[in-house]
Amino acid sequence: MSRTGSGSQDNGLRVPRRAFLKAVGLSGGGLLLASLTPNRSLAEEAVQDLVVSGELNAYIKVTSDGRITIYSPHPEMGQGVKTALPMIIAEELGARWEDVEVLQAPVDSARFGEQRAGGSTTIPRNFDEMRRMGASAREMFISAGSLVMEVPREELHTGDSKVIHDSGRYMTFGQLATLAAKQTVPDPESLKFKSREDYTIIGTSVSGVDNLSITTGLALFGIDTRVPDMVYAAYEKCPAIGGRVMSANLDAVRKLPGVLDAFVVEGNGDVRELLDGVAIVGTSTWAVFEAKRQLEVQWDESGASKDSWTALVAQGQSLAGQRGDELVLNKGDVSGVFADPTNTTLEAFYEYPFVSHFCLEPMNCTAHYRKGPGGEPDSLEIWLPHQGPGRAIQIAGSMFGLAPENVTVHLMRLGGSFGRRVYGEYICEAIAISKRVGAPVKLTWSREDDMRHDFFRVGGFQWVKGAVNSDGRLVAFEDHFVGMETDGDAVSGSRFGATEFPLENIDHAYASKTMLDIDTPCGPWRAPGSNTTAFVTQSFLDELANAAGRDYAEFLLEALGARRWFDEGNIRSLNTGRAADVIRLAVEKSGWGRRLPPGSGLGLAFYFCHAAHIAEVAEVSVTEDRRLTVHRVTVAVDVGPVINMSGALSQVQGAVIDGLSTMMGQKITFERGRVAETNFHQYPVLRMPQAPEVDVHFIQSEYTPTGLGEPALPPLAPAVGNAIYAATGVRVRKMPFADAGYRLV
């Protein structure tokens, strides 16, 4: 008589007891599987030995009671990969999602490869790898089932956490777990993946695996870290980047309530690592924050930033109507087309500011630097919210001389990032303070620290010029991109390429750029580069369409031309056919072209970034005093097959809300190297009553899936700007829109 799991229900399967015990070898136990680790340096035989012995920390763990644990290896910062990646594994495995528990994998590059998130690449980088992980486990279960059930492998398949025979007989994963661990790990090249029509998990709506713990306050972010004997720290740096400490009232600060110590930390001058500052250590975060308010520091600012936003604006505006000093693209005869009196020529100057990441969870890190006893090497244990936690191991080696094997990193959930947590300066600060005090230290930045010492989205300017012929067709386009650089290197977001639409798609195009020197630290911010260039190009193309008396949807589709890849053979390049498909879908679903009341309008924008094709239509109304209501944003998306429909919908909705919030009122300004905006009273965030309805439509294309954390943001600003023009006849060429007098209702 056979049994299912630990219960007594008969599934109709008869297995000779002797054969079963001989095949299984033991009762109980389980499967700990890493059949295809991303680190391919281990010999296949060694991997097999580790799997059988259960000594390899694996992606998939199945116990004899039927519980399935899947480890998610990459950082989770709200983009949903902690749920989506295990869904891919579970799909190929044939698991029942209700049987799956997802755990954050430990930081271990030897087992999991590079563990990082960013650039909306986590899904495309790992899709096939996760499929191989699940398919390999599936084949091992089928091998075990074939032995026990004494039937050919070809007559078995997996589903609902079972190995099922064509006759309907089955054995559960729990029953087969121990034997499955003894099977040969299949050759990756031999694996076959499920057909899309057979999916039962991928493409469905699955609640985020941490949603319940987050909403009930049980989820642990970096800022929630607590370890025994921990002390608390704050760190004060010069408000002008690069200033050095000359003196500070340390004796007075040390006497304040709850303060254990205060001291100067000498930095290495690298803003991405460790700048000079004053550390305050105490018995609580409140105590060190209060003490920092009374800290008085004399700074040497001779080598500090002198950046001025006012001066940069004046410099950028002075370049309007000129060509840049660096050529990006020159094809055809742009000047000749512009000079042709039968063509209609327009030019415009666009401006966009620096902005902050303003993560809900400020930068923080908990570090415990231990001196090695008796001449043994020092060690470090660190609790860290970071997009690439391996960075802490690199820092520990390069700055503190610690070997990787003496560094333990605990990856914590990130309370927001979108590019902010790719740098390691707050890690360096925490380690340096812990080494000094000889205890575990939890360093927390204040909101003001976070705003002043961000790696901002870079601001900039673009002068654009275009021509349409007597038939209303786009015939020439010129763009002078004014970006920023530090020490001769373009900062993230200050890049402009020759394939930028529509440059690649017309016969007469000219692009150039000028780079302005700054010291203000800048870095990637949700959809780097695209989040500003989309505003310029899609707004100006709408201007040209209106000058030609054309419907913008028709004008845009015409400019895209025939279906083709911009970079033939590169499936991550713009595909004009996919672009046309999302434009048509957005137009259809939004009711484009319908009559609206006076003061109301529809605006369309398309943009391609991070391998995603997205079109958006915004519906707005505007009063005479420029009070703006964004009623609805219709979004059409092609990112290939969607893994988790619930997560994808959240990403698109969040990107639209974030884009609207940023577009309307957010900007960072600075004079004498000092950031003026220090908290949300100066940096407005969208309020719930101001949020529009977001209507999302996915095209489930057959292309390789891509990420969705970033690409739905860039089209938002031009869509709203174009809608404002449709409603009022007034063009907005500057972000934030509040600077032009607009206020959200």
Per-residue pLDDT tens digits for 531-562:
999 999 999 999 999 999 999 999 999 999 99
d(CA 521, CA 422): 13
Closest C-alpha to 178, from 32, 347, 345, 17:
32
pLDDT at 59: 85
Alpha helix ranges (H) inside 120-185:
122-149, 173-180
Q: Which residues of 590-622 are buried (b: 16+ CB within 10 A; e: fewer)?
A: bebeeeeeeebbbbbbbbbbbbbbbbbbbbbbb
* Residues 45 and 146 placed together within one structural domain of the fold: yes
Residue 551 inside a domain? The answer is yes
d(CA 268, CA 539): 44
Mean pLDDT on 715-724: 98
Residues β-bridged to residue 602: 619
d(CA 735, CA 721): 10
Residue 312 inside a domain? The answer is no
Mean pLDDT on 654-668: 98
- SS3 assignment, position 102: strand
CA distances from 687 to 330, 415, 661, 665, 705 (A): 45, 19, 9, 12, 33
Pairing mode of beta strands 277-282, 344-352: unpaired
Residue 104 is which amino acid? Q
Residue 451 inside a domain? The answer is no
pLDDT at 699: 97
pLDDT at 30: 61
* Residues 133 and 280 placed together within one structural domain of the fold: no
pLDDT at 570: 87
Asked whether the predicted pLDDT for residue 662 surpasses 50, the reply is: yes
pLDDT at 27: 36
Answer for the pair 14, 151: CB distance below 8 angstroms, yes or no.
no
Closest C-alpha to 744, from 622, 651, 648, 650:
622
pLDDT at 111: 87
Residues 6+ apart with CB under 8 A from 215: none
Answer for the pair 395, 273: CB distance below 8 angstroms, yes or no.
yes
Answer for the pair 517, 443: CB distance below 8 angstroms, yes or no.
no
Residue 634 inside a domain? The answer is yes
- 3-state SS of 490-538 is ECCCCCCCCCCCCHHHCCCEEEEEEEEECCCCECCCCCCCHHHHHHHHH
pLDDT at 495: 85
Residue 7 inside a domain? The answer is no
pLDDT at 31: 63
d(CA 151, CA 165): 8
Answer for the pair 506, 477: CB distance below 8 angstroms, yes or no.
yes
Asked whether the predicted pLDDT for residue 14 surpasses 70, the reply is: no
pLDDT at 375: 87
Answer for the pair 91, 202: CB distance below 8 angstroms, yes or no.
yes
Q: What is the DSSP string of 696-739?
A: EEE---SSPP---SSTTSTTHHHHHHHHHHHHHS----BSSGGG
* Residues 27 and 95 placed together within one structural domain of the fold: yes
d(CA 26, CA 56): 20
Residues 6+ apart with CB under 8 A from 320: 349, 461, 463, 480
pLDDT at 487: 86
Asked whether the predicted pLDDT for residue 33 surpasses 80, the reply is: no
Asked whether the predicted pLDDT for residue 321 surpasses 70, the reply is: yes
* Residues 527 and 566 placed together within one structural domain of the fold: yes
Closest C-alpha to 84, from 552, 544, 535, 708:
708
Question: What confidence category does residue 567 fall into, taking pLDDT thresholds of 50, 70 and 90?
Answer: confident
Answer for the pair 533, 482: CB distance below 8 angstroms, yes or no.
no
Mean pLDDT on 445-463: 97
Residue 449 inside a domain? The answer is no
Residue 98 inside a domain? The answer is yes
d(CA 430, CA 450): 15
The one-character DSSP state at 625 is: T
* Residues 266 and 328 placed together within one structural domain of the fold: no
* Residues 631 and 705 placed together within one structural domain of the fold: yes
pLDDT at 49: 36
Asked whether the predicted pLDDT for residue 41 surpasses 60, the reply is: no
Answer for the pair 541, 552: CB distance below 8 angstroms, yes or no.
yes
d(CA 488, CA 499): 23
In degrees to the nearest 10, what's the CA dihedral of 143, 145, 147, 152?
A: -80
* Residues 243 and 140 placed together within one structural domain of the fold: no
Residue 86 inside a domain? The answer is yes
Mean pLDDT score of the chain:
92
* Residues 295 and 323 placed together within one structural domain of the fold: no
d(CA 422, CA 118): 8
Residue whose tokens read 């790992």? 126
Per-residue pLDDT tens digits for 92-116:
999 999 999 999 999 999 889 899 9
Q: Which two tokens stand for residue 36?
A: 């295809």
* Residues 231 and 163 placed together within one structural domain of the fold: no
pLDDT at 58: 62
Domain count along the chain: 3
Answer for the pair 305, 249: CB distance below 8 angstroms, yes or no.
no
For residue 559, the Cα-to-chain-centroid distance in whole angstroms is: 30
* Residues 147 and 239 placed together within one structural domain of the fold: no
Q: Which has more confidence, 445 or 487?
A: 445
* Residues 428 and 464 placed together within one structural domain of the fold: no
Q: What is the DSSP string of 417-464?
A: -TTGGG--HHHHHHHHHHHHHTS-EEEE--HHHHHHT--BBP-EEEEE
Answer for the pair 93, 194: CB distance below 8 angstroms, yes or no.
no
Mean pLDDT on 332-349: 98
Percent of all residues in the chain with a pLDDT value above 70, rounded to a whole number: 92
pLDDT at 140: 93
Per-residue pLDDT tens digits for 581-627:
999 999 999 999 999 999 999 999 999 999 999 999 999 999 999 99
* Residues 504 and 645 placed together within one structural domain of the fold: yes
How close are the terminal C-alpha atoms of the chain, in Å?
70
Q: Which helix (DSSP H) or strand (DSSP E) does residue 604 occupy?
A: strand 600-609
Closest C-alpha to 543, from 590, 601, 620, 474:
474
pLDDT at 698: 98
Per-residue pLDDT tens digits for 163-194:
999 999 999 999 999 899 888 889 999 999 99
pLDDT at 706: 93
Asked whether the predicted pLDDT for residue 38 surpasses 60, the reply is: no
Domain end position, chosen among 444, 464, 486: 444
Domain end position, chosen among 379, 411, 444: 444
Domain end position, chosen among 215, 246, 279: 215
Question: What confidence category does residue 341 fall into, taking pLDDT thresholds of 50, 70 and 90?
Answer: very high
CATH of the domain at 114: 3.30.365.10
Range of the domain at 721: 319-356+456-744
Asked whether the predicted pLDDT for residue 641 surpasses 80, the reply is: yes
Answer for the pair 319, 514: CB distance below 8 angstroms, yes or no.
yes
Cβ contacts of 395-402, under 8 Å, gap ≥ 24: 395/273, 395/424, 395/427, 395/428, 395/431, 396/431, 399/268, 399/273, 399/274, 399/428, 399/431, 400/369, 400/431, 400/435, 402/377, 402/378
Q: What is the pTM of this model?
A: 0.92
